[in-house]
């Protein structure tokens, strides 16, 4: 089997390539299975085997992708092989693999962050983006709507800071530090309202009501942008499929 054929198989299936489609389904299944140990607080031999077997598959997949990096970037030469390890998906692969090596986990036990290292395995779920057409559609939507989403996020961030500054100065007794005010502003903006930190004065409550009302409008903006982009992407794909059929 040639390297080019290996690349065609391990990449997300396109058209009627059954081997590639089977590989995609296999990898999605392995990713899901690899998350099973994270649902248990204790480890046993079965969970240990599941984790190590999944990691072995991930390592093989990573090496195959590295060995065919020149086909991915469509640039022959050593530059593609140097570029691949620092690509987004390759970094996700590495971060999802490393926590399963006991030598790394043992080294971090001294720093009391073993739980955090173990939790990094959840990143494996992001590996599924490589094989899912749904994730590809969402990725395209985010790319096409990037400028609009950045504008909305900037608006939301500015609103949070301004609201936090106002409430921090209106009710200094209720908010002991500025981070508490930022936390309150974020919770109010999203209209979650946990109620653990709240203003007690009349003016503070009025500010909270206004923040929540404006928060509904600001939070709704990205949802509308993404929905419109998603529908546009679906229509575009339907048109492409119709043209290909004809």
CA angle 53, 54, 55 (to 5 degrees): 90
Helix 18-34 and helix 45-67, axial crossing angle in degrees, nearest 10:
140
Q: What is the pLDDT of residues 66-110, one digit of tens each?
A: 998 888 887 777 888 888 888 888 888 887 787 777 544 444 444
Q: What is the pLDDT of residues 155-189, one digit of tens each?
A: 888 888 988 898 888 888 888 889 988 998 888 88
DSSP one-letter string for the chain: --HHHHHHHHSPP-TT-HHHHHHHHHHHHHHHHHTGGGG-SS--HHHHHHHHHHHHHHHHHHHHHHHTHHHHHT--SHHHHHHGGGSHHHHHHHHHHGGG-HHHHHHHHTTT-HHHHHHGGGGGGGGGGGT-HHHHHHHHHHHHTHHHHHHHHHHHHHHHHHHHHHHHHH-TTT-SSHHHHHHHHHHHHTT----SS---SHHHHHHHHHHHHHHHHHHHHHHHHHHHHHHHHHHHHHHHHHHHH-
- The four Cα atoms 230, 132, 63, 20 give a dihedral, to 10 degrees, of -120
Tokens of 165: 């500054």
List the domain boundaries for the chain. 3-131, 146-245
Q: What is the pLDDT of residues 209-228, one digit of tens each?
A: 888 888 888 878 888 888 88
Q: How far apart are CA 54 and CA 77, in angstroms?
A: 31
| Topology (CATH level 3) of domain 146-245 | Helix Hairpins (1.10.287)
Tokens 């009627």 found at? 16
Q: How far apart are CA 138 and CA 129, in angstroms?
A: 10
Higher local confidence (pLDDT), 215 or 193: 215
* pLDDT over 90, % of the chain: 2
- Mean pLDDT check: name the lowest of 62-71, 112-121, 133-142, 167-176: 112-121
CATH class of 3-131: mainly alpha
Q: How far apart are CA 10 and CA 71, in angstroms?
A: 12
pLDDT at 118 over 60: no
Q: How far apart are CA 90 and CA 87, in angstroms?
A: 5
- Residue 102 confidence (pLDDT): 56
């Amino acid at each position: 089997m040639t390297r080019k054929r290996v690349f065609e198989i391990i990449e997300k299936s396109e058209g009627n390539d059954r081997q590639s489609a089977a590989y995609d389904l296999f990898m999605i299944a392995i990713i899901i299975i690899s998350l099973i140990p994270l649902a248990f607080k204790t480890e046993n031999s079965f969970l240990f085997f599941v984790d190590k077997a999944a990691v072995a598959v991930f390592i093989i997949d990573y090496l195959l992708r590295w060995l065919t990096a020149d086909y991915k970037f469509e640039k022959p030469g050593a530059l593609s092989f140097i570029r691949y390890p620092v690509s987004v998906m390759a970094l996700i692969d590495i971060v999802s693999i490393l926590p399963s090596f006991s030598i790394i986990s043992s080294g971090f036990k001294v720093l009391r962050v073993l739980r955090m290292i173990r939790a990094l395995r959840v990143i494996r779920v992001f590996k599924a983006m490589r094989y899912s057409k749904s994730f590809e559609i969402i990725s395209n939507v985010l790319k096409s709507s990037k400028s609009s989403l950045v504008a909305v996020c900037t608006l939301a961030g500015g609103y949070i800071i301004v609201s936090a500054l106002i409430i921090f100065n209106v009710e200094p007794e209720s908010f002991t530090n500025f981070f508490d005010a930022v936390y309150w502003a974020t919770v109010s903006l999203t209209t979650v309202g946990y109620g653990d930190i709240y203003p007690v004065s009349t003016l503070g409550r009025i500010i909270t009501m206004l923040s929540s009302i404006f928060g509904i409008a600001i939070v709704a903006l990205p949802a509308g942008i993404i929905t419109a982009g998603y529908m546009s992407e679906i229509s575009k794909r339907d048109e492409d499929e119709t043209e290909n059929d004809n």
